[in-house]
Structure 1
Amino acid sequence: MRRLRMGLIGGGAGAFIGPVHRIAAELDREIELVAGAFSSDPARSRQAGDIYRIDPKRAYPDVATMLATEAGRDDGIDFVTIASPNHHHFTASRMALRAGVAVMCDKPATATLAEAKELAAIIARSRRPYGLTYTYSGYPLVREARARVAAGALGIVRKVLVEYPQGWLAGAAEGKQALWRTDPAQAGEGGAIADIGVHAFHLAEFVTGLRVTQLLADLAAVVPGRVLDDDCQVLLRFNNGARGVLLASQIMVGERNGLRLRVYGDKAGLDWSQEQPNILTWRHGDGRTEIIQAADAGLGPDARWATRTPGGHPEGYLEAFANLYRDFARQLRGEEGSLLPGIDDGLRGMAFIHLAVTASRAGAGWVEFEV
């Protein structure tokens, strides 16, 4: 079985997520990065090609040139990964899909909800695989939590708490990563709500299997002079009647990457934290507390498939990211069993961002969640 060939869009010098995609994609030796349009500056794209150690002829000056040239090669790319700022996601996805090339894209799917709706139609017509890197859905114990909730181990879900505190944007935005995330022309409609809030939103729906039906949002740009939100609180109502609270903030000084999910049913509650991802705490209604660890013998098939090392050997962010690429490889080969988020998740994520931003600005109170 040959390795699948990947082209990378974005991820040039100074990028955080581009190298992460490359490491994750190649971890299981199913995929190989062979080409890229790494920057809108041709010189910087060539420089990135040297860093990634690909054939210099396959470090392209732009996406269109890469797609056209790779289509004429016997060993051309099988898919592209889009790791550029949000405002590039729609255009790059559309170009690739119209060229018959599958797409793996960073979240959020697009910069606006209108773009996401148009993209969904393009994907339907193309019939090509499309995946979104909601990274935290790749963790083994997140998949274990999802399976247990689906099997009824929590009982009827009543309460969902999901929080994502960071502190790295508590001051003036400095550096490439901060500057584009605080620029509406590049980030899109939302700031923290689009950067990390949408991760929290997806995690809550992914694990519980529920769907948000209403929300009440309070978003603020706390740092003076900032246009996009950097501090967010959102109340949620789910389709089974459960209530939820979502917090996403990038101005909480001292916080690092504190994504945490707690879900409470009428039989039990669960607690998972991204900074301690190899432990899932299960609180039973009779007072017992069960500590479930990565690679435990009792894990279900989804979690076991996503686990690479024996118990006591921590797995984390890169391995979770790599699990999404393993899922994508399954899809590209026509195999079943993938839990990779796709355009439906992308549409719901963009609807969440759009509704939270617009409702908060208007002081609208509770609004219906509509895609």
Structure 2
Amino acid sequence: MSVLRLAMVGGGPGAFIGPVHRMAAELDGRIRLVAGAFSRDPDKSAAAAQAWGVRGYADWSEMIAAEAGREDGAQAVAVVTPNHLHLAVSRVALQAGLHVISDKPATRTLAEARELAAAVAASGRLYGLTYTYTGYPMVREAREIVRRGDLGSVRKVVVEYAQGWLSRPREREGAKQAEWRTDPALAGAGCIGDIGVHAFNLAEFVSGRRVERLCADVGTVVPGRRLDDDCNVLLRFGGGARGVLIASQISAGARNGLKLQVYGESGGLTWSHERPSELTIDRLEGPSQTLHAASVYLSGPAQAASRIPTGHPEGFIEAFANLYRDFADAIAEGRADAHPVPDIEEGVRSMAFVETAVAASRDESGWVALDGRIA
């Protein structure tokens, strides 16, 4: 099978998620990084390119034009910049005939996400979003359990994503990652756009149901902060299920506490990011059961997402790598629907969730409809 050639925008020295994307993309040998515009600082971009043995560029638009014109140039672009550049970079890459895989959220605003959706449709190229947690084997197993009806009709979904790293004003203490994430011009939204979208996407991915209405309390706890840092949202799903979504970056002492619970008529399931290789099933009338990643009794999608035998831990990089491998396979096969890679529809829905929740909380609107349509 041919190897997909990848270019990257962002992710240079000092970045957190850029090196994660690079490691994940190349883990399975399906993708090779060949070029990058890794930083606004030309020297930093050149240093990263030299360290990784790839072609380096000082400007991302120059890189896309050059790579699109090379016989051995990149076939896809990974966008790992702050949110304000997602639309511009993705659109130019798509117009140049390159596929795009982007870090979440898709864009800075809902309007931008819908602009991007139009660009994707016009390009004929594939677009993927790295909602990382959908790449975990036991998250995919949870989805299959719900899809098969093992729990009965879904009644309640509870998803919590708690972090504590922004419990103090780190954006005023020289922390680069905090600076852009709390800047409205660069991020668009705060906690809800940073980790709330992960929780929202995970809830819809596993439950198989779309959120139709919500009631939100989105606020800023740390004095002087310009964007939200704590979110509490009640959800109503299609089909009647109710839900609760909590996303917080001021939960002091919390590390990366993502947890999902789905309850049906006859039982429920629980998955936690701190124990990602396990999935607990609790039954109304029967014993509880813990399922383990890579076990022979798991569904096909869950087994396909594991690389090593059960009992050997796999984690964040491997889950990320599953999305990149699925993306490469989708490109090779010319069809995205055969692989569970979040796409621009998920990107638009997530931004609709963000803007609807923020506005409803600000205006104290109570229950409001969520319009996640692409156009």
Shorter-chain TM-score: what band?
A: over 0.9
Per the normalisation by structure 2, the TM-score is 0.96
Superposed counterparts of 1:1-371, under 5 Å: 1-54=1-54, 58-173=55-170, 174=173, 175-188=175-188, 190-334=189-333, 337-371=338-372
CA distance in 1, matches of 2:260, 2:96: 39
Q: Which amino acid aligns with 1:85?
A: P
**3-state SS of the aligned residue for 1:84?**
coil
**3-state SS of the aligned residue for 2:257?**
coil
Q: Which amino acid aligns with 2:29?
A: R
1:243-286 Cα shifts (integer Å, max 9, x gaps): 10000000011100000000100011000001100110001121
CA distance in 1, matches of 2:120, 2:40: 25
**3-state SS of the aligned residue for 2:146?**
helix
CA distance in 2, matches of 1:72, 1:236: 47
The farther-off stretch of 10-19 and 174-183 is 174-183
CA distance in 1, matches of 2:78, 2:126: 12
In the alignment, is the contact (CA less than 8 A) between 2:68 and 2:98 conserved in 1? no
**3-state SS of the aligned residue for 2:301?**
helix
The farther-off stretch of 66-75 and 151-160 is 66-75
**3-state SS of the aligned residue for 2:156?**
strand
1:76-114 Cα shifts (integer Å, max 9, x gaps): 001000000000100100110011110000010000000
CA distance in 2, matches of 1:89, 1:100: 17
Aligned residues: 367
Shift of 1:74: 1.5
Give unmatched runs, 5+ long, in structure 2. Answer: none
Give unmatched runs, 5+ long, in structure 1. Answer: none
1:190-224 Cα shifts (integer Å, max 9, x gaps): 10000000000000000000000000110111001
CA distance in 1, matches of 2:50, 2:230: 39
In the alignment, is the contact (CA less than 8 A) between 2:68 and 2:75 conserved in 1? no
Aligned Cα root-mean-square deviation (Å): 0.9
Shift of 1:335: 5.6
Q: Which amino acid aligns with 1:12?
A: G
CA distance in 1, matches of 2:51, 2:251: 34
Q: Which amino acid aligns with 1:205?
A: E
Per the normalisation by structure 1, the TM-score is 0.97
User: Percent identity of the aligned residues?
Assistant: 59
